[in-house]
Amino acid sequence: MVKHSGISKYTSQYIPDALWDIFNITPEELKGLSVLESSVYLTRECNLKCQYCKIIKTELPKELTIEEWIEAMDILEDIGIKFVNIAGGEPTVLDGLPRIIKHLSTNTKMDFSIVSNSLFGAKKAEDLVDAGLKAYIASVDVLGGGDMKVHDLRKSSAGLKMLVKLKEMGVPYLCANIVISATNIDNVMDVVKFLSDEGIWVNICPIIWGKGDKWDEIDIEDERYRLGPEHTDKLKAIASELIEIKRGGALILPTEPYLEGLPSHGVLLDWRCCTEKIETPPPRLTIDADGSMMSCINMRGDVAEKYKIFDMRNKDTYNKFLRDWWAEAKSCDGCYWSTMAMASERQDMLTQLKNKPGWLES
């Protein structure tokens, strides 16, 4: 099961237990691991064209087949991944998605979630639940916004309906992704409270723009969505209210340090997933729809031209990829994705754990 819910309590004194609780793994298993999480772009195709979406702007000559994805999932498990987030594009446009879910739920021990725009029918929802879907993330970022494009509104409304439907169908872990932008900043807290009251977890991050893969090709209209210094005070108020209600039991997924950083990093997009001085592995392995190993969810990067997920079967190649990843990522200007920041925190826990004197000596 996905157990992000308790992450905020993991201050340093809890570190030895945190990773084991979240991913249900033994200390012996942890010792050999370098990366715990993965995000996969199952496809870059989508049945929507959201205004701020950068993913669908990159078309790949050939995407992996369902069989190849199943093989890729086995490789991820073999190299120690404990959690896979299946994203896109829109993963549900692939008819074979239930087969991948079935494989993950019956043949692997990895936890997994799907992030979707929720524009699929009752039959597909049933197929996914029957296949073993336990964690579902919907985008409802612009609920109630007054200045939205039709595609954005369709996604938010479908997301809410699908969360309610999947709740009725017994899917235990339901989450809504909210992207804060200049157009929805005034109603974000209403949306968060509504969802939390409904028993739905809320993940939140600022709109990311202006850097990385194809970001230089952003449409002029995107200007309306961007967060700038003029939004800092509103973001401060949102961050402190989020922290307050999270402490009071609201179902807010991001950690307190992440929320505290929202007013600054959310505007400047200057959070870094690694440092220039110490070589570290990526917070998450990100796999593109053609099987390439990406720099991160923002960028394919040079590593994508060199490595495919299938190359990671070879341990030396995997280690070489990790080194090349750092060599490239350390010069990145930054971003502020909650998923990347939280994965990074978990990697830090793992590193601290491994560096603890006397920890699992052998």
Q: Which residues bind ligand SF4 (CB under 6 A)?
A: 46, 48-50, 53, 55-56, 88-90, 117, 155, 212, 272-273, 295-296, 298-299, 329, 332, 334-335, 340
Rounded to the nearest whole angstrom, what is the least distance from the CB of residue 166 to ligand SF4 in the complex? 17
Residue closer to ligand SF4 by CB (options 103, 206) is 206
CA atoms within 13 A of residue 125's CA, in its CB half-sphere: 21
Residue closer to ligand SF4 by CB (options 250, 254) is 254
Decide if 153 contacts 142 (C-beta within 8 A): yes
Residue closer to ligand SF4 by CB (options 51, 250) is 51
Amino acid at 259: L
Give the contacts of 137 (CB within 8 A, at least 6 positions apart).
85, 113, 114, 115, 116, 175, 176, 177, 203
Rounded to the nearest whole angstrom, what is the least distance from the CB of residue 49 to ligand SF4 in the complex? 5
Residue closer to ligand SF4 by CB (options 103, 203) is 203
Rounded to the nearest whole angstrom, what is the least distance from the CB of residue 349 to ligand SF4 in the complex? 18
Rounded to the nearest whole angstrom, what is the least distance from the CB of residue 50 to ligand SF4 in the complex? 3
Residue closer to ligand SF4 by CB (options 56, 169) is 56
Residue closer to ligand SF4 by CB (options 101, 140) is 140
Tokens of 138: 């919907």
Rounded to the nearest whole angstrom, what is the least distance from the CB of residue 133 to ligand SF4 in the complex? 18
Of 63, 355, 315, 334, nearest to 212 by C-alpha is 334
Decide if 115 contacts 137 (C-beta within 8 A): yes
Rounded to the nearest whole angstrom, what is the least distance from the CB of residue 10 to ligand SF4 in the complex? 21
Amino acid at 80: G
Give the contacts of 282 (CB within 8 A, at least 6 positions apart).
35, 273, 274, 295, 296, 322, 325, 326, 329
